[in-house]
Structure 1
Amino acid sequence: MNTSQNTTPQITFAGNPVTLVGTIIKPGDQAPDFEVLGNDLKPVHLSDFKGKLKIIAVYPSIDTSVCAAQNRRFNQEAQKLDNVVVLSISCDLPFAQNRFCAAEGLNNIITLSDHRKLDFGLKYGFVMEEFRLLARGTVIIDQNNLVKYVEYVPEVTHEPNYNEALNIVKSLL
């Protein structure tokens, strides 16, 4: 799983250091296009959301309480935002993501799976090498595909900084 460039954010998972691999993304960067799988197992690309403000909610697994809370919160916030799409990305299989959203009644977020290629994770520097899962974080990309905000949550078992991310989103509307 080694790539040519390890990222610099120092993060831990349950208190233990983990290695992020991929290319670090930072505000001001042009957002790289990526390919993930939708719930119908068809490819979905960042470019499919051209012209929209994008919140990318990144998390390790829908089957944990913190990841579930993160998805519930972004789903709740998404219904209040016009011309904003929330892309919720993990390495979970699309079936698990779909099952969770159906059971929870979450219909304001788009769950996407990076399990096949880790294309998003490697292009944005979120892959935890030790687990082949994505670390927790948030990326905000404007309507012109410029990265405006990135958070690599320092402790993966903690929730992201919703208020900071949402303040950035509101400033871009």
Structure 2
Amino acid sequence: MFTEDGRPSPDDPRENGPRLGDERATLLEFLRKCRLTLELKCAGLDADAMARRSVEPSTMSLLGLVRHLAEIERATFRGTMAGRVVSRLYCSPEEPDGDFDGAVADERVVAEAWEAWHAEAAFTTAFLAGAASLDVTGEDPDNQHGTGGGAISLREAALELIHEYARHLGHADLLRERIDGRVGQ
């Protein structure tokens, strides 16, 4: 959040969350903060700004990051951990980078990306909060998570997701600064 003159607001929604919790509460809180950071980086931007690419030849954009993270949450938690057969949201064998390549400056595309991201985040949060244990496992047959094609625990999947957000939030910082000079938070 920012003040009208563009400075970071003292009322950061990421602050004052649960503290001194158990392992599950800690993972959920870190994930909540990562997601809020992504939303803050995208706040107030129109479709053109959301779809603005970083630097050629990269296709990275804030909209692409939203789509990519929705895709990752879906594959990891609906697919790998819940064991559901799910289709990809944006990517395919013919279009392996569809999450970024399809991130075009269209208000409908932006709205659909946020809708998908919110749905996948809600599923992940509910799954992580409701699982019997962080030791439950899912199968990673395609080795998407570096398991060698074997089992992955819910604990590992949650940490992998936090790591994925952390990597891309650095990108989001730079993308937002390129769009309007906004830094911080």
- Which one has more relative contact order, counting CA pairs under 8 Å at least 6 apart? 1
Q: TM-score, normalised by structure 2?
A: 0.26
Structure number with the higher strand fraction is 1
For the pair shown, the structure with the greater C-alpha radius of gyration is 2
Structure number with the higher helix fraction is 2
Q: TM-score, normalised by structure 1?
A: 0.27
